[in-house]
């Protein structure tokens, strides 16, 4: 797991010119590690600006931005072979309930830690969530990762609008092809949801297993972010134990949500699963 340095290393003012920011954007997005992912330039720009605002000396900015970017992209959580999967998809049945398609989706869900951990609870995960929210007509899946491959377990009508967002281009391309293949109404958008405002409203927004990393990227940012999400129900999930499975994270999960919503006009209901907790935030009371 990467270490995450807080932006409090130095109070000395730094000077990072727009040209230097552009040079760093080109250097990092063209690097071997990130070249294929097409990390949005605005993400790197935002990280530099955040570091500057916190007084990181110019000489340390690249190092701090690299650390933050590593934590955002989280390559240690796993990735499938997107090109191979795109070819396989063309030969798959298009019915979401087809056992062959579901097996193929499970294979993909197993490739990333967040979705792999959810497989044992997948049969009840969405039915318990929709019991609370009601069956939605539209869903935003924010920082979606590989979660759209759980669509067969959501049991949605094909007219339900499902819009997925992630900053990882190959993931988004495969998700877009999948939505078209199963004829699910919706879209897959390559964007940094912390920097670009979300265009459309929805009944329900999923923000699964990423709020703790948002807080590492920019401490306290979830409070502003949660308020900006244009959905009546915001469903924020967090893992209840560390990646190694050794440490319980439930207290810190609850603290993070409490800090993010306390004093705001909303109601929070918890759904606790074996290894994941979903905070169902009903907004605008």
Ligand X SMILES: C[S@@+](CC[C@H](N)C(=O)[O-])C[C@H]1O[C@@H](n2cnc3c(N)ncnc32)[C@H](O)[C@@H]1O
Query: Which residues form the interface with ligand X (CB under 6 A)?
Result: 72-74, 77, 114-115, 143-145, 147, 165-168, 171, 192-194, 208-210
Measured in whole angstroms, the distance separating CA 11 from the mean position of its chain's CA atoms is: 31
- Nearer Cβ to ligand X (56/143): 143
Shortest Å distance, C-beta 232 to ligand X: 20
- Residue pair 207/142 in contact (Cβ under 8 Å)? The answer is yes
- Nearer Cβ to ligand X (144/261): 144
Shortest Å distance, C-beta 224 to ligand X: 13
Shortest Å distance, C-beta 40 to ligand X: 8
- Nearer Cβ to ligand X (42/57): 42
Shortest Å distance, C-beta 6 to ligand X: 18
- Residue pair 55/11 in contact (Cβ under 8 Å)? The answer is yes
DSSP code per residue over 68-100: HHHHHH-GGG----HHHHHHHHHTS-S-TT-HH
Shortest Å distance, C-beta 96 to ligand X: 18
d(CA 94, CA 172) in angstroms, rounded, equals: 19
d(CA 170, CA 184) in angstroms, rounded, equals: 19
- Nearer Cβ to ligand X (242/262): 242
- Nearer Cβ to ligand X (136/145): 145
**Cα dist. 18→64, 83, 209 in Å?**
17, 36, 33
Q: Which residue is nearest to ligand X (CB)?
A: 145
- Nearer Cβ to ligand X (144/182): 144
Q: Burial level of 12, CB count in 10 A (0-12/13-18/19+)?
A: exposed
Shortest Å distance, C-beta 32 to ligand X: 18
Q: Which residue has the tokens 């798959």?
A: 92
- Nearer Cβ to ligand X (66/209): 209
d(CA 145, CA 167) in angstroms, rounded, equals: 9
- Count of C-beta atoms within a 10 Å radius of residue 42: 16
Identify the bridge partners of residue 38 per DSSP, sorted by sequence position: none
Shortest Å distance, C-beta 11 to ligand X: 27
Length of the chain: 285
d(CA 72, CA 192) in angstroms, rounded, equals: 10
């Amino acid at each position: 797991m990467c270490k995450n340095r807080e932006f409090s290393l130095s109070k000395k003012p730094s000077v990072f010119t727009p040209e230097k920011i552009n040079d760093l954007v080109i250097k990092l997005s063209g690097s071997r590690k990130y070249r294929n992912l097409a990390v949005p330039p605005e993400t790197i720009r935002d990280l530099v600006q955040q570091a500057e605002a916190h007084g990181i000396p110019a000489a340390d900015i690249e190092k701090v931005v690299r650390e933050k970017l590593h934590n955002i992209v989280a390559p240690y959580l796993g990735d499938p072979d997107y090109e191979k999967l795109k070819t396989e998809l063309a030969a798959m049945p298009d019915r979401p309930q087809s056992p062959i398609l579901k097996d193929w989706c499970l294979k993909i869900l197993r490739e990333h830690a967040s979705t792999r951990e959810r497989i044992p609870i997948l049969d009840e995960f969405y039915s318990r969530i929709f019991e609370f929210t009601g069956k939605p007509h539209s869903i935003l899946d924010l920082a979606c990762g590989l979660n759209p491959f759980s669509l067969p377990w959501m049991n949605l009508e094909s007219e339900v609008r499902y819009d997925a967002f992630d900053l990882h281009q190959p993931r988004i391309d495969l998700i877009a092809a999948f939505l078209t293949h199963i004829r699910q109404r919706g879209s897959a958008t390559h964007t940094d949801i912390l920097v670009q405002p979300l265009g459309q409203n929805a009944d329900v927004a999923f923000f699964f297993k990423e709020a703790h990393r948002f807080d590492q990227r920019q401490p306290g940012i979830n409070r502003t972010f949660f308020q900006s999400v244009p959905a009546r129900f915001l469903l924020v999930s967090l893992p209840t134990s560390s990646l190694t499975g050794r440490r319980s994270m439930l207290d810190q999960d609850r603290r993070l949500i409490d800090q993010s919503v306390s004093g705001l006009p909303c109601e929070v209901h918890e759904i606790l699963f074996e290894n994941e907790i979903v905070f169902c935030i009903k907004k605008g009371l």
